Amino acid sequence: MNNRKLLSILILLFCSIFIFVFAQLGLMTFSSFLGLGTYKEGTKIASVSVENLTEEQAKTKVASEIKNWTEDNKIVLTLDHSIILDKEEDYLDFQLDKTVQALENKKTTNLSVEVNEKKLNELLQTEFGQERVRAVDVKQLSENIRKIATSLNKEPVEFDLRTFLVKDKFEESLISEAVSPFANGALFNERLKDRFVIAPGSQFSLQEYIDERNLSDINNEILSEVATTIYTTILASPFELIERHISDELPSYTKLGQEAAFVKNKWDLKFLNPTDQPYELTMFVSDEHLTVQLSGKQLEEYRVYFENEQKYPTRTIVHYHLALEENETKLGEEGKEGQSIRVYRQVFIDGKLENEVKIAEDYYPPAYKVVYQGMPLNLINTPIIDTPDTDDIGEQLNNSDNPDENNRTEQNLNQLDEQTTENPNHRPETTESRSTEDTNQNETTEDEELWEDPNIEK
């Protein structure tokens, strides 16, 4: 009897378990078939939580988040200017069904996204130019954009296309060239023939170059011609100027704004290659001309232009000389106009001006014309004024920073008359120059000078 009861209980228990299990399996199968199943806690698609949602509910929620993301979050592409990737223009294909199929409970699954590389490349070519985009790794750029989209990153993202440039796609070309007259070319044909690389981030110093190649025996004038030709070449390049000098007078072998004077161990020519690309500088002499060429790979085009060229007229200084007749004149120094100019560098990308910077502003002071004239008869009995050598006068005037300091008007003659009245036999001391303090003393210490005497023929 007890065994029958026990058996009956076991049979009822087994039937209950059987019915419960198959009821649950049937419910799960039916719910799965109708999409009524829900995802467990911690289940996410990208940054969107889908826990306790059915598959269809999850799709609806994620689709809504994708729409918000495309409207509110920006992907910026920058080269010479910036554009915003319009995510509604089919550049991105969000594959939601594929994403849900790969979804696992209690885990985060990134969205499945494809980037339309062809359409993206067309956009880049339209905005930035076909020639420049040719060097952009569009495949790698597409992959980076895809990664941003798969996570629905809500922070603004900017891609600098320069970081996606493929250096091997750049065409190495002649960037700039300068040719200067070089009368001593035959003597230095082999010694100045050279080709060397200016590495990324490195400096070039002409002084160091001369020392390394044992060219120190060449005089400063010839080395200045070399410096000038190199400087003229690098003007149309991305190089940054560190040190450069000019002479007091523009040399005949160059043009205004293109000189670079060099003095061994004193005046150097230095510049920096600030780019991540090496450049090659080639130098050679032929047909009495020095040629310097700069070659490399770059997308930008550099141009040089000159502005605000000005002339500064010379002045005539008259020196009275007892060795000449009253109306006799003699030219001491020819004189030369002063001049100045500003030098600018422009950066063009696909023919469009993108940047402009002033490189230099050169000024060459005027050299004054010096004329000797015989002493006027009415001044013959005045104190004698010795005249220094012409070369000393020219040097004195050209080194003056303030032309007005040399401007001695006809008041000087009045002072002479006053001195003669006080002491007719007095003879002032003669020197080549004097300080400002000496002008109030009774003794005159330099030649009397007149500006632009109308009686003097220029």
Overall average pLDDT of the 281-300 stretch: 87
pLDDT confidence bin for 258, thresholds 50/70/90: very high
- Helix pair 117-128, 138-150: axis angle to 10 deg: 120
Distance CA 126, CA 89 (A): 15
How far apart (Å, rounded) are the C-alpha atoms in residues 250 and 78?
Answer: 44
Identify the top-confidence range among 158-172, 179-193, 255-269, 297-311. Answer: 255-269
pLDDT value for 384: 52
pLDDT at 267 over 60: yes
The per-residue pLDDT for 209 is 93
Residues 177-207 have pLDDT tens digits of 999 888 776 677 788 888 899 998 999 999 9
Residue 426 has pLDDT above 80, yes or no: no
pLDDT given for residue 455 in this prediction: 39
Looking at residue 111, its pLDDT comes to: 86
Residue 22 predicted with pLDDT over 90: no
**Burial 128-159, CB ≥16 within 10 A → b, else e:** bbeebbbbbebeebbebbbebbbebeeeebeb
Residue 140, pLDDT above cutoff 70: yes
Q: Is the pLDDT of residue 456 over 70?
A: no
Which pLDDT band, with edges at 50, 70 and 90, does 35 fall under?
very low
| Mean pLDDT for the stretch of residues 159-176 | 77
SS3 string, the chain, reads: CHHHHHHHHHHHHHHHHHHHHHHHHHHHHHHHHHCCCCECCCCEECCEECECCCHHHHHHHHHHHHHHHHHHCCEEEECCCEEECCCCCCCEEECHHHHHHCCCCCCEECCCEEECHHHHHHHHHHHHCHHHHCCECHHHHHHHHHHHHHCCCCCCEEEEHHHHECHHHCCCEEEEEEEEECCCHHHHCCCCCEEEEECCCCEEEHHHHHHHCCCCCCCHHHHHHHHHHHHHHHCCCCCEEEECECCCCCCCCCCCCCCCECECCCECCEEECCCCCCEEEEEEEECCEEEEEEEECCCCEEEEEEEEEEEECCCEEEEEECCCCCCCEEEEECCECEEEEEEEEEEEECCEEEEEEEEEEEEECCECEEEEEECCHHHCCCCCCCCCCHHHHHHHHHCCCCHHHHCCCCHHHHHHHHHHHHCCCCCCCCCCCCCHHHHHCCCCCCCCEEECCCCCCC
User: What band does 272 get if pLDDT is binned at 50, 70 and 90?
Assistant: very high
Q: Looking at the predicted structure, is the pLDDT value of residue 458 above 80? A: no
**Which tokens hold the place of 185?**
């070319």
More confident residue, 314 or 380: 314
Higher pLDDT: 307 or 406? It is: 307
- Average pLDDT value for residue range 450-458: 38
Q: Which residue has the higher pLDDT, 169 or 253?
A: 253
Q: Supply the pLDDT for residue 170.
A: 63
Q: What is the pLDDT of residues 368-416, one digit of tens each?
A: 899 888 877 766 665 554 545 544 444 443 444 444 433 333 333 333 3
Mean pLDDT check: name the lowest of 215-219, 292-296, 297-301, 402-406: 402-406
Looking at residue 29, its pLDDT comes to: 57
Of 22-31, 117-126, 155-164, the range with the highest mean pLDDT is: 117-126
The β-bridge relationship of strands 157-160 and 75-78 is: parallel
Give the model confidence (pLDDT) of 225-235 as tens digits. Answer: 999 999 999 99
Q: Over 50: is that where the pLDDT of 417 sits?
A: no
Confidence at residue 242, expressed as pLDDT on a 0 to 100 scale: 95
Could you give the CA distance from residue 213 to residue 184 in angstroms, rounded to a whole number?
19
> Which pLDDT score is estimated for 185?
64
Name the token pair of 98: 């594929």
| Domain ranges, ordered by start, for the chain | 44-168, 173-299, 311-341+364-458
Q: What is the pLDDT of residues 56-101, one digit of tens each?
A: 888 888 888 888 888 887 888 887 778 888 766 678 888 888 888 8
CA 129 remoteness from chain centre = 22
pLDDT for res 428: 35
Q: Per-residue confidence at 27, pLDDT binned at 50, 70, 90?
A: low
- What does the chain come to in residues? 458
On the question of pLDDT at 443 being above 80, the answer is no
Model confidence, pTM: 0.55
The region of weakest confidence among 55-59, 129-133, 150-154, 183-187 is 183-187
Report whether pLDDT(325) > 70.
Answer: yes
Predicted confidence at residue 263, as pLDDT, reads: 95
